[in-house]
Protein backbone atom coordinates (compact mmCIF):
# COMPACT_ATOMS: atom_id res chain seq x y z
CA UNK A 1 0.00 0.00 0.00
CA UNK A 2 1.40 3.38 -1.02
CA UNK A 3 2.23 6.06 1.52
CA UNK A 4 0.60 9.47 1.75
CA UNK A 5 2.10 12.78 0.63
CA UNK A 6 1.23 15.51 3.14
CA UNK A 7 1.51 19.10 1.94
CA UNK A 8 2.27 20.92 5.19
CA UNK A 9 2.08 24.67 5.69
CA UNK A 10 4.79 25.98 8.03
CA UNK A 11 5.17 29.31 9.90
CA UNK A 12 6.21 32.44 8.03
CA UNK A 13 8.55 33.15 10.92
CA UNK A 14 6.85 32.78 14.29
CA UNK A 15 7.04 29.13 15.37
CA UNK A 16 3.90 29.67 17.44
CA UNK A 17 1.94 29.64 14.18
CA UNK A 18 2.69 25.96 13.57
CA UNK A 19 -0.70 24.29 13.97
CA UNK A 20 -1.10 21.25 16.27
CA UNK A 21 -2.16 19.19 13.24
CA UNK A 22 0.94 20.23 11.30
CA UNK A 23 3.17 19.38 14.27
CA UNK A 24 1.50 15.97 14.65
CA UNK A 25 1.97 15.29 10.93
CA UNK A 26 5.67 16.17 11.05
CA UNK A 27 6.08 13.75 13.99
CA UNK A 28 4.10 11.00 12.27
CA UNK A 29 5.83 10.91 8.86
CA UNK A 30 9.11 9.09 8.24
CA UNK A 31 10.46 11.61 5.69
CA UNK A 32 10.22 15.38 5.31
CA UNK A 33 11.04 16.87 1.89
CA UNK A 34 12.29 20.40 2.50
CA UNK A 35 13.25 23.35 0.32
CA UNK A 36 16.21 24.07 2.65
CA UNK A 37 17.07 21.33 5.15
CA UNK A 38 19.13 23.73 7.28
CA UNK A 39 16.12 26.00 7.62
CA UNK A 40 13.68 23.17 8.33
CA UNK A 41 15.77 21.28 10.90
CA UNK A 42 14.97 23.72 13.78
CA UNK A 43 11.28 23.42 12.89
CA UNK A 44 11.41 19.63 13.24
CA UNK A 45 13.17 19.99 16.59
CA UNK A 46 10.44 22.41 17.70
CA UNK A 47 7.74 19.96 16.60
CA UNK A 48 9.50 16.98 18.22
CA UNK A 49 9.89 15.23 14.86
CA UNK A 50 12.59 12.65 14.19
CA UNK A 51 11.80 12.33 10.49
CA UNK A 52 14.58 12.04 7.94
CA UNK A 53 15.18 15.29 6.09
CA UNK A 54 15.45 15.14 2.29
CA UNK A 55 16.33 18.12 0.12
CA UNK A 56 13.81 19.04 -2.58
CA UNK A 57 14.05 22.48 -4.16
CA UNK A 58 13.87 24.39 -7.45
CA UNK A 59 17.20 23.00 -8.65
CA UNK A 60 16.64 19.38 -7.60
CA UNK A 61 17.20 16.78 -10.29
CA UNK A 62 14.66 14.34 -11.68
CA UNK A 63 16.45 11.74 -9.57
CA UNK A 64 15.43 13.57 -6.38
CA UNK A 65 11.80 13.54 -7.50
CA UNK A 66 11.93 9.85 -8.36
CA UNK A 67 13.49 9.06 -4.98
CA UNK A 68 10.52 10.61 -3.17
CA UNK A 69 8.05 8.83 -5.45
CA UNK A 70 9.77 5.49 -4.76
CA UNK A 71 9.51 6.11 -1.02
CA UNK A 72 5.84 6.92 -1.33
CA UNK A 73 5.24 3.93 -3.57
CA UNK A 74 6.89 1.68 -1.00
CA UNK A 75 4.46 2.81 1.71
CA UNK A 76 6.47 5.63 3.34
CA UNK A 77 4.55 8.73 4.40
CA UNK A 78 6.25 11.95 3.26
CA UNK A 79 5.65 15.56 4.32
CA UNK A 80 6.40 18.31 1.82
CA UNK A 81 7.36 21.66 3.36
CA UNK A 82 8.75 24.95 2.09
CA UNK A 83 10.95 27.44 3.92
CA UNK A 84 7.91 29.43 5.00
CA UNK A 85 4.18 29.29 4.34
CA UNK A 86 2.30 26.91 2.09
CA UNK A 87 4.17 24.61 -0.34
CA UNK A 88 3.68 24.75 -4.14
CA UNK A 89 3.27 28.56 -4.04
CA UNK A 90 6.39 29.93 -5.83
CA UNK A 91 8.35 26.73 -5.17
CA UNK A 92 8.79 23.37 -6.98
CA UNK A 93 6.35 21.41 -4.81
CA UNK A 94 3.72 21.29 -7.55
CA UNK A 95 5.90 18.91 -9.58
CA UNK A 96 5.94 16.39 -6.74
CA UNK A 97 2.23 16.72 -6.09
CA UNK A 98 1.37 16.25 -9.78
CA UNK A 99 3.67 13.23 -10.10
CA UNK A 100 2.24 11.65 -6.95
CA UNK A 101 -1.33 12.10 -8.19
CA UNK A 102 -0.38 10.62 -11.56
CA UNK A 103 0.74 7.46 -9.73
CA UNK A 104 -2.40 7.22 -7.63
CA UNK A 105 -0.68 8.32 -4.42
CA UNK A 106 -2.92 10.07 -1.91
CA UNK A 107 -2.13 13.76 -1.37
CA UNK A 108 -3.42 15.46 1.80
CA UNK A 109 -3.23 19.16 2.64
CA UNK A 110 -2.33 20.40 6.11
CA UNK A 111 -3.29 24.08 5.69
CA UNK A 112 -1.85 26.99 7.59
CA UNK A 113 0.17 30.19 7.08
CA UNK A 114 0.51 31.77 3.66
CA UNK A 115 2.24 35.06 2.90
CA UNK A 116 -0.32 35.89 0.20
CA UNK A 117 -3.34 35.83 2.53
CA UNK A 118 -1.41 37.42 5.40
CA UNK A 119 -0.29 40.39 3.28
CA UNK A 120 -3.76 40.87 1.80
CA UNK A 121 -5.30 40.84 5.27
CA UNK A 122 -3.18 43.75 6.55
CA UNK A 123 -2.94 45.73 3.29
CA UNK A 124 -6.27 47.49 3.62
CA UNK A 125 -6.94 46.77 -0.05
CA UNK A 126 -9.85 44.85 -1.55
CA UNK A 127 -9.23 41.11 -1.37
CA UNK A 128 -12.50 39.52 -2.49
CA UNK A 129 -10.82 38.96 -5.86
CA UNK A 130 -7.08 39.12 -6.49
CA UNK A 131 -4.32 38.05 -8.88
CA UNK A 132 -1.14 36.39 -7.60
CA UNK A 133 1.95 36.76 -9.81
CA UNK A 134 4.70 35.62 -7.43
CA UNK A 135 8.23 36.74 -8.37
CA UNK A 136 8.48 38.70 -11.63
CA UNK A 137 11.38 38.00 -14.01
CA UNK A 138 14.31 40.31 -13.31
CA UNK A 139 14.30 41.79 -16.81
CA UNK A 140 13.17 41.31 -20.38
CA UNK A 141 9.92 41.25 -22.32
CA UNK A 142 8.17 38.91 -19.89
CA UNK A 143 8.81 41.28 -16.98
CA UNK A 144 7.37 44.14 -19.01
CA UNK A 145 4.33 42.08 -19.97
CA UNK A 146 3.59 41.24 -16.34
CA UNK A 147 4.15 44.83 -15.22
CA UNK A 148 1.59 45.90 -17.82
CA UNK A 149 -0.77 43.22 -16.53
CA UNK A 150 -0.51 44.73 -13.02
CA UNK A 151 -1.17 48.19 -14.43
CA UNK A 152 -4.30 47.04 -16.25
CA UNK A 153 -5.59 44.57 -13.63
CA UNK A 154 -9.15 45.14 -12.50
CA UNK A 155 -8.34 43.35 -9.23
CA UNK A 156 -5.75 43.59 -6.49
CA UNK A 157 -2.40 42.03 -7.41
CA UNK A 158 0.01 40.27 -5.02
CA UNK A 159 3.74 39.97 -5.77
CA UNK A 160 6.77 38.51 -4.04
CA UNK A 161 10.15 40.22 -4.26
CA UNK A 162 13.66 39.91 -2.85
CA UNK A 163 14.44 42.80 -0.46
CA UNK A 164 17.31 44.17 -2.56
CA UNK A 165 15.02 44.52 -5.59
CA UNK A 166 11.92 45.98 -3.94
CA UNK A 167 12.78 49.60 -4.74
CA UNK A 168 13.31 48.76 -8.42
CA UNK A 169 10.04 46.83 -8.56
CA UNK A 170 8.10 49.71 -7.03
CA UNK A 171 9.70 52.18 -9.43
CA UNK A 172 8.79 50.00 -12.40
CA UNK A 173 5.22 49.58 -11.12
CA UNK A 174 4.86 53.33 -10.61
CA UNK A 175 6.12 53.94 -14.15
CA UNK A 176 3.60 51.61 -15.82
CA UNK A 177 0.81 52.98 -13.60
CA UNK A 178 1.14 56.54 -14.94
CA UNK A 179 3.53 57.67 -12.25
CA UNK A 180 1.87 55.70 -9.47
CA UNK A 181 0.37 58.74 -7.74
CA UNK A 182 -3.16 57.33 -7.94
CA UNK A 183 -2.47 53.63 -7.31
CA UNK A 184 -2.61 52.44 -3.72
CA UNK A 185 -0.29 49.67 -2.58
CA UNK A 186 1.16 48.06 0.54
CA UNK A 187 4.54 46.49 1.28
CA UNK A 188 4.72 43.85 4.02
CA UNK A 189 8.01 42.52 5.31
CA UNK A 190 9.08 40.06 8.01
CA UNK A 191 5.47 39.06 8.66
CA UNK A 192 4.94 37.35 12.05
CA UNK A 193 8.56 38.12 13.02
CA UNK A 194 9.97 40.61 15.53
CA UNK A 195 10.42 43.42 12.98
CA UNK A 196 7.16 42.90 11.11
CA UNK A 197 6.13 45.99 9.16
CA UNK A 198 3.46 46.89 6.64
CA UNK A 199 3.72 50.28 4.94
CA UNK A 200 0.83 51.53 2.82
CA UNK A 201 0.61 54.43 0.37
CA UNK A 202 0.66 55.16 -3.32
CA UNK A 203 3.15 53.37 -5.55
CA UNK A 204 4.98 56.68 -6.01
CA UNK A 205 5.24 57.22 -2.26
CA UNK A 206 6.41 53.69 -1.56
CA UNK A 207 8.94 53.76 -4.41
CA UNK A 208 10.44 56.93 -2.97
CA UNK A 209 10.51 55.58 0.58
CA UNK A 210 12.18 52.25 -0.22
CA UNK A 211 14.71 53.90 -2.54
CA UNK A 212 15.99 55.66 0.58
CA UNK A 213 15.35 52.83 3.07
CA UNK A 214 15.88 49.39 1.44
CA UNK A 215 13.88 46.74 3.33
CA UNK A 216 15.22 43.60 4.95
CA UNK A 217 13.68 40.13 5.12
CA UNK A 218 10.92 38.48 3.12
CA UNK A 219 8.77 41.00 1.22
CA UNK A 220 5.25 40.83 -0.21
CA UNK A 221 3.87 43.67 -2.34
CA UNK A 222 0.12 44.24 -2.78
CA UNK A 223 -1.13 46.63 -5.49
CA UNK A 224 -4.71 47.87 -5.81
CA UNK A 225 -6.62 47.14 -8.99
CA UNK A 226 -8.10 49.68 -11.37
CA UNK A 227 -11.64 48.63 -10.51
CA UNK A 228 -12.37 48.52 -14.24
CA UNK A 229 -12.32 45.57 -16.65
CA UNK A 230 -9.30 45.42 -18.96
CA UNK A 231 -10.16 46.85 -22.39
CA UNK A 232 -10.60 44.16 -25.00
CA UNK A 233 -7.86 44.09 -27.60
CA UNK A 234 -9.01 44.74 -31.15
CA UNK A 235 -7.74 41.92 -33.40
CA UNK A 236 -5.14 42.99 -35.92
CA UNK A 237 -6.32 42.75 -39.52
CA UNK A 238 -3.47 41.02 -41.43
CA UNK A 239 -4.13 42.73 -44.75
CA UNK A 240 -4.34 46.24 -43.26
CA UNK A 241 -1.18 45.67 -41.24
CA UNK A 242 0.66 44.28 -44.26
CA UNK A 243 -0.21 47.35 -46.35
CA UNK A 244 1.14 49.64 -43.60
CA UNK A 245 4.42 47.74 -43.34
CA UNK A 246 4.90 47.61 -47.11
CA UNK A 247 4.30 51.36 -47.29
CA UNK A 248 7.09 51.79 -44.73
CA UNK A 249 9.51 50.18 -47.19
CA UNK A 250 9.91 46.76 -45.58
CA UNK A 251 10.67 43.79 -47.83
CA UNK A 252 7.87 41.34 -48.58
CA UNK A 253 9.75 38.62 -46.76
CA UNK A 254 10.11 40.69 -43.59
CA UNK A 255 6.51 41.87 -43.76
CA UNK A 256 5.27 38.30 -44.04
CA UNK A 257 7.34 37.21 -41.06
CA UNK A 258 6.15 40.11 -38.94
CA UNK A 259 2.50 39.61 -39.93
CA UNK A 260 2.73 35.94 -38.93
CA UNK A 261 4.23 36.89 -35.57
CA UNK A 262 1.77 39.70 -34.81
CA UNK A 263 -1.48 38.08 -35.98
CA UNK A 264 -0.87 34.39 -35.39
CA UNK A 265 -1.60 33.29 -38.95
CA UNK A 266 0.76 30.75 -40.49
CA UNK A 267 3.86 31.92 -42.35
CA UNK A 268 2.60 30.36 -45.58
CA UNK A 269 -0.66 32.27 -45.27
CA UNK A 270 1.25 35.48 -44.53
CA UNK A 271 3.49 34.98 -47.59
CA UNK A 272 0.45 34.38 -49.84
CA UNK A 273 -1.28 37.49 -48.50
CA UNK A 274 1.76 39.73 -49.03
CA UNK A 275 2.38 38.41 -52.53
CA UNK A 276 -1.25 38.99 -53.51
CA UNK A 277 -0.88 42.61 -52.39
Tell me the C-alpha distance between 100 and 77, whole Å: 12
228 part of a folded domain: no
267 part of a folded domain: yes
In this structure, the answer to whether residues 84 and 138 fall within a common structural domain is no
pLDDT in tens, 10-22: 999 999 999 999 9
The pLDDT of residue 213 is 94
In this structure, the answer to whether residues 56 and 136 fall within a common structural domain is no
In this structure, the answer to whether residues 105 and 161 fall within a common structural domain is no
pLDDT surpasses 80 at 196 = yes
Domain ranges, residue 98: 4-113
Task: Using pLDDT thresholds of 50, 70 and 90, give the confidence band for residue 232.
Answer: low
In this structure, the answer to whether residues 168 and 185 fall within a common structural domain is yes
* pLDDT mean over 204-224: 96
232 part of a folded domain: no
215 part of a folded domain: yes
pLDDT in tens, 62-117: 999 999 999 999 999 999 999 999 998 877 789 999 999 999 999 999 999 999 99
The pLDDT of residue 11 is 97
Indicate the residue among 88, 113, 138 that finishes a domain: 113
pLDDT surpasses 90 at 277 = no
In this structure, the answer to whether residues 141 and 101 fall within a common structural domain is no
Tell me how far CA of residue 143 lies from CA of 66, 193, 205, 212, in angstroms. 33, 30, 22, 24
* CATH number for the domain harbouring residue 53: 3.40.1010.10
Query: By C-alpha distance, which of 241, 219, 98, 202 is closest to 163?
Result: 219
In this structure, the answer to whether residues 100 and 126 fall within a common structural domain is no
10 part of a folded domain: yes
In this structure, the answer to whether residues 259 and 171 fall within a common structural domain is no
In this structure, the answer to whether residues 173 and 131 fall within a common structural domain is yes
Indicate the residue among 113, 144, 172 that finishes a domain: 113
The pLDDT of residue 231 is 67
Tell me the C-alpha distance between 27 and 30, whole Å: 8
233 part of a folded domain: no
Spell out the residues 6+ positions from residue 44 whose beta carbon is closer than 8 angstroms to its own: 26, 32, 50, 51, 53
Q: What is the mean pLDDT of the chain?
A: 94
In this structure, the answer to whether residues 175 and 197 fall within a common structural domain is yes
Q: What share of the chain is helix, strand, coil (3-state, %, to 5)?
A: 45, 20, 35
Helix (H, G, I), strand (E, B) or coil at 264: coil
Indicate the residue among 77, 95, 113 that finishes a domain: 113
The pLDDT of residue 107 is 98
pLDDT above 70 covers what percent of the chain? 99
The pLDDT of residue 233 is 66
| First-to-final CA distance of the chain | 68
In this structure, the answer to whether residues 197 and 259 fall within a common structural domain is no
Spell out the residues 6+ positions from residue 255 whose beta carbon is closer than 8 angstroms to its own: 242, 245, 246, 270, 274
pLDDT in tens, 116-174: 999 999 999 999 999 999 999 999 989 999 999 999 999 999 999 999 999 999 999 99
pLDDT above 90 covers what percent of the chain? 78
231 part of a folded domain: no
The pLDDT of residue 91 is 72
The pLDDT of residue 237 is 86
In this structure, the answer to whether residues 80 and 143 fall within a common structural domain is no
In this structure, the answer to whether residues 8 and 109 fall within a common structural domain is yes
As for how many domains the chain has, the answer is 3
Q: Characterize 134-172 residue by residue with b for buried, 16 or more Cβ atoms within 10 angstroms of its Cβ, and e for exposed.
A: eebeeeeeeeeebbeebbebebbbbbbbeeeebbebbbb
Amino acid sequence: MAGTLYVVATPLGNLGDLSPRAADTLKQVAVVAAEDTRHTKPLLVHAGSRADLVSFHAHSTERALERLLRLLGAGTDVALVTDAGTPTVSDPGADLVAAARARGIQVVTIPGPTAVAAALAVSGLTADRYVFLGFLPRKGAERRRLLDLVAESEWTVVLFEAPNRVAELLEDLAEVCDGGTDREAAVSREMTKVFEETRAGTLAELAGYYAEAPPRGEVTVVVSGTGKPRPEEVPIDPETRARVLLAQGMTRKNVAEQIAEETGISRNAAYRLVNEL
